[in-house]
Amino acid sequence: MGAGDTTIRCGNLIGSKWEHRGVEGIRRLNPANVRDVVATAPDSSTEDTRRAIQAAADAFQTWRRTIPPERGKIVLRAAQLLESHMEEVAKLLTREEGKILSDSRGEVQRGIDVMEFAAGMGRRLGGQTLPTEVPHVFCFTTRRPIGPVAAISPWNFPVAIPCWKIAPALVCGNTVVLKPSPLTPATATRVVEIFQEAGLPPGVLNLVHGGTQVGTELVNSPLIRGISFTGSTKVGMAIHAAAAQRLAKVQLEMGGKNPQIILRDADLESAVKALLTAAFGSTGQRCTATSRAIVDRKVATEVVERLAQGTKAIRVGPGDRPEVQMGPLVDEARLRDVQGFVQRAREEGAKVVVGGSEPEELRNGHFYVPTIIGDVRPEHEIAREEVFGPVLSFIEVGDLEEALTVANAVDYGLCASIFTRDIGQAFTFVDKIEAGMIHVNRPGLGGFSNFPFGGYKHSSYGAREVGDDTINFYTDIKSVYIQET
């Protein structure tokens, strides 16, 4: 299978130059049709990475002195450019990552929203003025950028996640080296091109394609002062350990095993609708995907029936077809992982209620049908580990207290939701659930572009991303005391 006319040849951006050396190192296939070679990109070396880091370090001294509103204006221009290219970028995202076109449009919109919010930080990057403890001293705090930072991103949100790392990093005055996932080189390249077109000076934003070799160099380089990572918990923990050796700042967004609780007084129609969206949207390949339905025994039969009906009705296929509601998994390895989880769930005594197979008629891509697993006990692997695919475990409980015990009995704590009409139970849930993003009578997805994004336990570490909290990662504080003379 050769690269065709429609194959996008991605390069690295180092300083002011796009470089295309070794461009065949990464070959990205369309997950809905593996005969379509979407992109090629360099599998970059340590040396390439070092040059990109040096370019970011060289650009830092000038960029940090560019006034914050000016930095914000460039990011706002990038948001406007992305908006004007919405359809083109969304189509590329669907072709490269596989999610359905409406989800891709939603993701691009999310990127635009967080960039607009971050642009405004350029006029809000303030410190505090506090009273003095001794006479005749004027004191205040001020924020400064931390330096060149690395943004290491996953494949599942290849537009939104780079945008929500790059935009606040730049507005806060840092320079950036982006290392995207080798599964989404073309989308990442397009995002960087748009930032460049908005008017960034050379070296302020750099792009290095590749895998672990590039990531390791970024994590270990003494010139990189902060690492903003989104990906699996295993890799996040390894990055944390390595960065600790030189006390580099880290911001880690990792896996999830998100529950949706349904109590007996819930509006079951909207509860099931939310489950279908949160479990199977983006083929379950969202860190925030609901993967555990924790349901009051009194309404369990009715919920399962409605859920099974809704799940069977989901149309699976290539994401660029308007009638399709769920696209493929991102690659062969992910498909095998999902198959393995379902197989082991069967072996542990759980039961496949719906799905559990590859659709017969879709053999050109990595498709798996939406799947519900019943008779799941909290100790089963399928109830504890992140599957990252369209697989929902169904767990029955007696009341809210038991639901909370089950919900909290995992290593993760990213997001969670509850369906109930009882305000008291809803507040108990908000108080006791171990999760960073909490929804009541809403699907348990991420959140808004002006709210912190992140979780508890093994889901997150460091300052939250998105919203104002991310300033705490991208800046350091100076406390200043001035004696009146």
Active site residues: 253, 287
Is 152 a binding residue for ligand NAD by CB under 6 A? The answer is: yes
The pair of structure tokens assigned to 398 is 């007696």
Comparison of 212 and 270: residue with beta carbon closer to ligand NAD: 212
Are the C-beta atoms of 165 and 244 separated by less than 8 Å?
Answer: no
Are the C-beta atoms of 140 and 131 separated by less than 8 Å?
Answer: no
Q: Which stretch binds ligand NAD (CB under 6 A): 11-19, 131-139, 253-261, 262-270?
A: 253-261
The Cα–Cα gap between 390 and 374 comes to 14
Taken in order 428, 423, 259, 451, the sign of the CA dihedral is negative
Among 7, 216, 220, 441, binds ligand NAD (CB under 6 A): 216
Is 461 a binding residue for ligand NAD by CB under 6 A? The answer is: no
3-state secondary structure of 350: coil
Is 414 a binding residue for ligand NAD by CB under 6 A? The answer is: yes
Comparison of 151 and 274: residue with beta carbon closer to ligand NAD: 151
Are the C-beta atoms of 300 and 354 separated by less than 8 Å?
Answer: no
Comparison of 242 and 362: residue with beta carbon closer to ligand NAD: 242
Residue type at 327 in one-letter notation: G
Is 444 a binding residue for ligand NAD by CB under 6 A? The answer is: no
Comparison of 156 and 206: residue with beta carbon closer to ligand NAD: 156
Are the C-beta atoms of 234 and 66 separated by less than 8 Å?
Answer: no
Size of the site for ligand NAD (CB under 6 A): 29
Residue type at 150 in one-letter notation: A
The pair of structure tokens assigned to 324 is 């399709």
Is 356 a binding residue for ligand NAD by CB under 6 A? The answer is: no
Is 156 a binding residue for ligand NAD by CB under 6 A? The answer is: yes
Are the C-beta atoms of 434 and 455 separated by less than 8 Å?
Answer: no
The Cα–Cα gap between 291 and 383 comes to 8
Comparison of 30 and 425: residue with beta carbon closer to ligand NAD: 30
Cβ at position 136, least distance to ligand NAD in Å: 48
Query: What proportions of the chain, in percent to the nearest 5, are helix, strand and coil?
Result: 40, 20, 40
Residue closest to ligand NAD (Cβ)? 215
Is 352 a binding residue for ligand NAD by CB under 6 A? The answer is: no
Is 215 a binding residue for ligand NAD by CB under 6 A? The answer is: yes
Q: Which spans of this chain sit near ligand NAD (rule: CB under 6 A)?
A: 152-157, 179, 181-182, 211-212, 215-216, 219, 230-232, 235, 238-239, 253-256, 287, 386, 388, 414, 459
